[in-house]
Chain A
Amino acid sequence: MITPLLGEAWDSMHANRMRSVLTMLGMVIGVAAVILMVAIGQGAQQSVNASIQSMGSNLFIVLSGSATTGGLRMGMGAAPTLTTGDAEAIATLPAVAAVAPLQPGTAQVVYGASNWSTMIAGTTPDALVVRDWPVARGAAFSASDVRAAAKVALLGTTVVANLFGDQDPVGKTIRIKQSPFVVVGVLASKGQSLNGQDQDDTILIPVTTAQRKLFGSQFPGTVRLIMVQARSAALMPQAQSEMTALLRQRHHLPSRADNDFDIRNLTAMASAAAQTTRVMSFMLGAIASVSLLVGGIGIMNIMLVSVTERTREIGIRMAIGARRRDILRQFLLEAVLLSLIGCFVGALCGIGGAVAVHYLARSVVVITLSSVLLAFGLASTVGMFFGYYPARRAATMQPVEALRHE
């Protein structure tokens, strides 16, 4: 029953080629928009998620507080109140899994004829645990390296590429601010951070080495920040209050005094970012769906014209025995066929567009089967929904009146 009807629907579309194509164009644009927008939205989501993943999970950053010097209030982290001792004390807290102090600085690095300016981070081996950062080649420096303030370095891949090219850097000696450092390992690539920084453009060295030998400070033993990983997401509030109490005690703060440090929940910030992207992704899809709706209205419009034009044909069909449901089915099928063909072309356009965006704008796009299926589902629903009214109008015509129609 369906096959000959399909043929008829095709014939009728073929007879009004221009009109059918224009009607489909609405669906093509709608479906292409949905697929493209969902692809872009999901791509954004995926890159945000990847960045969050690269940051490490259940993460806090403890910054030293602001300093006030002669009425001039400096920014957060200016006062050298955090020490490696603080970091070690935090590590003993029950809700805390791993702790790594961080003393960053920028320096020129030289190997042979190449040189490169990069971020040097003085830290402990636990930094790799906290940041969930594996070593690709060689090995991480050890706790004894930290105790001994050894001149050893772990390189990020960007640094390796700029200093060594294709050579294996492990075991080689580089110079940081004229001091020789032995390269003990290479970090796995992490890519961009949430705010677009290249996380691989860095060198990790023992925090003691950074404090004593590289970036001399008038406050020995202080660090800029401490990275803390809680044991689980559920333990994050507990970890935060434990840390606050501990640090206030260690810094001898009277009960009325403000904290001279700042604890930031990076995971909460990251999930806020992820939430934002999700909402944006949803909005993009919703806006694109509106064009699908407009396409559907186009189909309804054309089907109404078609039903009016073919009133006599409907009359003839009824006179030779077509039931109402036969007529309904015929026009509904035509509307669905219009929207499905439009949808198919639109899916191709949308996927093509997404691929073009990927190559031209260098942004991540994700085309999932589910987004294509969603578009097809929407399109046939739209076809059914907007095809139903005209088809019903055709089916409920009185045969005599339909036959009388010129």
Chain B
Amino acid sequence: MPTSSLIVLDAVCKRYETAAGPVSVLRDIDLAVGTGESVAIMGPSGSGKSTLMNILGCLDVASSGRYLLDGQDVAGLDHDQRAHLRNRVIGFVFQGFNLLPRISLLDNVALPLLYASVPERERRRRAQESLQRVGLGGFEAYLPSRVSGGQQQRVAIARALVSGPRLILADEPTGNLDTQTSHEIMTLFMGLNAADGITLVLVTHEQDIADFTHRHVLLVDGRIAADHLLGEATAARVSP
């Protein structure tokens, strides 16, 4: 069990005002994730998984409660400071890959560094490194539409990795991929988790995907219904 907590959620709620009245998507979420952990958040559709991920990723803010990321209260931050966290601390991986279609894979990977004002030469070098790490060395000049879904997701992971984040958030990263590719992607994730100690939080429907991780959190109707730490047997699948 890791000692320090990278993520601490304390009674986090998220409500939306709708025409039919307020709807609570998240209710009193208490969750602590330590550095180096790998967590799968599971649950039926509409249970608030994605909303939770958006709050964790500083893309959205909680209606109430506290969110400490690396000890810092996110609620007190302004737009620029949250952008800074998304840029340096968090790497986001989406179900739909979300690469920019008009620019090359290398430029896609280098994009976060652009917003970090890294000089051009350095950007290219680090983006290249990152692409090699996900096994796509040599694909730098391709446009996203030229490579497969699995490869696009690898590029997205390379993009998430490029600024050296401490936390990777993946919202159904394998939802658009076949089983074999899904497992390859998960192996990649778990390798990063094991080798670099990058904390991994992912949302998934699928048990076999969740089984790659060390910890399963079940969300039902916006509440945490179960939180299991798994044994070494499951975790051993990381590097067979």
Instruction: Assess A320 versus B115: contact at CB under 8 Å? Given A4-B120, A11-B102.
Output: yes
Instruction: Assess A8 versus B54: contact at CB under 8 Å? Given A320-B112, A321-B86, A324-B83.
Output: no
Is B57 among interface residues, defined by CB-CB distance under 8 A? yes
Chain B residues with CB under 8 Å of A320's CB are 86-87, 92, 111-112, 115, 159-160
Is B121 among interface residues, defined by CB-CB distance under 8 A? no
Chain B residues with CB under 8 Å of A323's CB are 79-80, 83-84, 115
* Alpha-carbon gap, A318 to B111, bound state (A): 11
Tell me which of A3, A15, A403 has the highest count of chain B C-beta atoms within 10 A of its own C-beta.
A403
Residues in A369-406 with C-beta less than 8 Å from chain B:
398-400, 403
Is B100 among interface residues, defined by CB-CB distance under 8 A? yes
Whose C-beta in chain B lies nearest to the C-beta of A321? B87
Chain A residues with CB under 8 Å of B86's CB are 318-321
Chain B residues with CB under 8 Å of A322's CB are 83, 87, 115
Q: How far is the CB of A40 from chain B (nearest CB, A)?
A: 43
Is B59 among interface residues, defined by CB-CB distance under 8 A? yes
Whose C-beta in chain A lies nearest to the C-beta of B92? A319
Which of A3, A313, A326 contacts B100, CB < 8 Å? A313
Is B196 among interface residues, defined by CB-CB distance under 8 A? no
Bitwise, B205-240 to A at CB < 8 A (1) or not (0) is 000000000000000000000000000000000000
Is B116 among interface residues, defined by CB-CB distance under 8 A? yes
* Alpha-carbon gap, A323 to B57, bound state (A): 15
Do B59 and A326 touch (CB < 8 A)? no
Chain B residues with CB under 8 Å of A15's CB are 102
Is B145 among interface residues, defined by CB-CB distance under 8 A? no
Which of B92, B102, B103, B115 contacts A326, CB < 8 Å? B115
Bitwise, A109-152 to B at CB < 8 A (1) or not (0) is 00000000000000000000000000000000000000000000
Which of B111, B116, B120, B163 contacts A317, CB < 8 Å? B111
* Alpha-carbon gap, A11 to B108, bound state (A): 14
Instruction: Assess A321 versus B59: contact at CB under 8 Å? Given A11-B102, A11-B103, A316-B98.
Output: no
Chain B residues with CB under 8 Å of A18's CB are none
Whose C-beta in chain A lies nearest to the C-beta of B103? A11
Do A321 and B116 touch (CB < 8 A)? yes
Do B79 and A400 touch (CB < 8 A)? no
Do A399 and B60 touch (CB < 8 A)? yes
* Alpha-carbon gap, A91 to B75, bound state (A): 92
Chain B residues with CB under 8 Å of A1's CB are 114, 117
Is A12 among interface residues, defined by CB-CB distance under 8 A? yes
Which of B57, B88, B102, B116 contacts A319, CB < 8 Å? B57
Q: How far is the CB of B28 from chain A (nearest CB, A)?
A: 21
Do A8 and B103 touch (CB < 8 A)? yes
Do B112 and A321 touch (CB < 8 A)? yes
Chain A residues with CB under 8 Å of B57's CB are 319
Chain A residues with CB under 8 Å of B87's CB are 320-322
Whose C-beta in chain B lies nearest to the C-beta of A318? B83
Q: How far is the CB of A222 from chain B (nearest CB, A)?
A: 88
Bitwise, A274-318 to B at CB < 8 A (1) or not (0) is 000000000000000000000000000000000000001100111
Chain B residues with CB under 8 Å of A313's CB are 100
Do B115 and A400 touch (CB < 8 A)? no
* Alpha-carbon gap, A321 to B118, bound state (A): 13
* Alpha-carbon gap, A324 to B80, bound state (A): 7
Q: How far is the CB of B70 from chain A (nearest CB, A)?
A: 16
Which of B59, B116, B117 contacts A403, CB < 8 Å? B59
* Alpha-carbon gap, A316 to B94, bound state (A): 10
Bitwise, B112-138 to A at CB < 8 A (1) or not (0) is 101111001000000000000000000
Do B100 and A316 touch (CB < 8 A)? yes
* Alpha-carbon gap, A316 to B112, bound state (A): 10
Chain A residues with CB under 8 Å of B99's CB are 316
Chain A residues with CB under 8 Å of B120's CB are 3-4
Chain A residues with CB under 8 Å of B112's CB are 320-321
Bitwise, A1-43 to B at CB < 8 A (1) or not (0) is 1011000100110010000000000000000000000000000
Whose C-beta in chain B lies nearest to the C-beta of A312? B98
Bitwise, B14-30 to A at CB < 8 A (1) or not (0) is 00000000000000000
Tell me which of A4, A15, A313 has the highest count of chain B C-beta atoms within 10 A of its own C-beta.
A4
* Alpha-carbon gap, A319 to B97, bound state (A): 12
Q: How far is the CB of A326 from chain B (nearest CB, A)?
A: 6
Do A321 and B98 touch (CB < 8 A)? no
Chain A residues with CB under 8 Å of B98's CB are 312, 316, 319, 403
Q: How far is the CB of B87 from chain A (nearest CB, A)?
A: 2
Chain B residues with CB under 8 Å of A3's CB are 120
Chain A residues with CB under 8 Å of B94's CB are 319, 403
Chain A residues with CB under 8 Å of B60's CB are 398-400
Whose C-beta in chain A lies nearest to the C-beta of B83? A323
* Alpha-carbon gap, A11 to B100, bound state (A): 12
* Alpha-carbon gap, A3 to B119, bound state (A): 11
Tell me which of A319, A323, A398 has the highest count of chain B C-beta atoms within 10 A of its own C-beta.
A319
* Alpha-carbon gap, A322 to B116, bound state (A): 8
A-B complex: 6 closest residue pairs judged by Cβ atoms: A321-B87, A323-B83, A399-B59, A320-B112, A321-B115, A400-B60
Show 25 residue pairs from A and B whose CB-CB distance is below 8 angstroms, ordered by the A residue. Answer: A1-B117, A4-B114, A4-B120, A11-B103, A15-B102, A316-B98, A317-B115, A318-B83, A319-B57, A319-B59, A319-B94, A320-B86, A320-B112, A320-B159, A321-B87, A321-B116, A322-B83, A322-B115, A323-B79, A323-B83, A325-B80, A399-B59, A400-B59, A403-B59, A403-B98
With A322-B87, A325-B80 given, name 19 new contacts (CB 8 A): A1-B117, A3-B120, A8-B103, A316-B99, A317-B115, A318-B86, A319-B59, A319-B86, A319-B94, A319-B98, A320-B111, A320-B112, A321-B87, A321-B88, A321-B163, A323-B79, A323-B115, A324-B80, A403-B98
- Interface positions of A (Cβ within 8 A of B): 1, 3-4, 8, 11-12, 15, 312-313, 316-326, 398-400, 403
